[in-house]
Amino acid sequence: MAEKVKAYGAEKVYVIDDAELKGYLVAPKAEALQQLAAQASPSAILFPSTFEGKEVAARLAIKIESGLITDAVDVQAGPVTTQSVFAGSFTVTAKVTQGTPIITVKPNSAAPEEAAGAGAVEAFTPTISDGAKTAQIIASQPRAATGRPELTEAAIVVSGGRGTGGDFAPIEAFADSLGAAVGASRAAVDSGWMPHAFRVGQTGKTVSPQLYVANGISGAIQHRAGMQTSKTIVAVNKDNEAPIFELVDFGVVGDLHTVLPAATAEITKRKG
């Protein structure tokens, strides 16, 4: 791991023995980072915008009396962040004005760039209080592997909506040709065609991939709130007046059951 982060410019890598962190909820992690922040005096602390990442960040912000910004899609010098807020109605820039800036960043917000770094490794041993260990994980069950990337972390997401008519085979085949994750609109989930874990939108998961392909999705604000910070958006819909076309970089007016198999075949041919 040290070599990997060194390749992306890390000057120092702190290694923590997680023996006292594993098996508990987030409190021990927040305590460990509080102690590490006191030793390292970082100019900013960044987390991934996962459910756990945001909870640890919030606890840490209270512990070190610092401001917190969540779900940033860009971080510039300052640090100044960019966020999409109020269900995607506004794009705002923000800056922490007290303490060490703590920022959670959406996955795929920036493409990693290699840069030389010293990558010096230093062991760090936190002291975890008994109070932080009062919530213990007694059992866990990993979700069955699908062979596809995790929805919130994928660089490419292919989603289907009401226009699939419940047939997600073209969506899945196209996603597999791109090495993409599969998502679904609320309409598709509410109809029982896909599990809730695949829902993209205000009441589902928020994604920000490099490429988002919406198929048979009208583009209601509920769905847009979960994907409109994607870098490039493509829509396939046979209704040329669908609201989704107001948002996209590229649009295809056509039946997804015709368009996607043709696109999948062409991609497979070029890959071969």
Q: Which residues contact 166 (CB under 8 A, 6 or more apart)?
A: 188, 191, 193
Query: How many domains is the chain partitioned into structurally?
Result: 2
Q: Which of 68, 72, 48, 71 is nearest to 60 (CA)?
A: 68
CATH number at residue 8: 3.40.50.620
> Could you give the CA distance from residue 94 to residue 75 in angstroms, rounded to a whole number?
10
Distance CA 178, CA 264 (A): 8
Q: How far is CA 215 from the centre of its chain?
A: 20
Domain closes at, from 66, 99, 133: 133
The answer to whether residues 110 and 214 belong to one domain is: no
Give the pLDDT score at 120.
87
Q: Are residues 118 and 221 in the same domain?
A: no
Per-residue pLDDT, 2: 64
Q: Based on the domain organization, do 121 and 229 belong to the same domain?
A: no
Same domain, 91 and 175: no
- Mean pLDDT, the chain cut into blocks of 10 residues (272 residues total): 75 87 93 96 94 96 97 93 82 96 90 80 92 91 80 95 97 97 96 95 91 96 91 96 95 97 96 82
The reply to whether 191 falls in a domain is yes
Cβ–Cβ under 8 Å, residues 49 and 107: yes
Q: Which domain holds residue 103?
A: 2-133
Please tell me the predicted confidence (pLDDT) of residue 81. 96
Please state, as a whole number, how many other Cβ atoms lie within 10 Å of the Cβ of residue 160. Answer: 33
Count the residues in the chain. Answer: 272
Question: Does residue 204 lie within any of the structural domains?
Answer: yes
The whole-number pLDDT of residue 1 equals 65
Say if residue 213 is in the same domain as residue 108: no
Please give the C-alpha separations between residue 94 and each of 44, 77, 84, 212, in angstroms, as whole numbers. 14, 12, 11, 26
Q: What pLDDT sits at residue 109?
A: 82
- For residue 140, being part of any structural domain is answered with no
17 and 122 together in one domain: yes
The pTM score is: 0.74
DSSP structure class, residue 8: B
Question: Does residue 62 fall inside a structural domain?
Answer: yes
Q: By C-alpha distance, which of 76, 77, 19, 27 is closest to 52?
A: 27
On whether residue 173 sits in a domain, the answer given is: yes
Which residue carries 């912000």 as its tokens?
Answer: 61
Write down which residue in 87, 118, 133 finishes a domain. 133
CATH number of the domain that residue 183 is part of: 3.40.50.1220
Domain co-membership, 16 together with 95 = yes
In a domain, 146, yes or no: no
Whether 139 is in a domain gets the answer no
Domain closes at, from 68, 99, 133: 133
What is the amino acid identity at position 121?
V
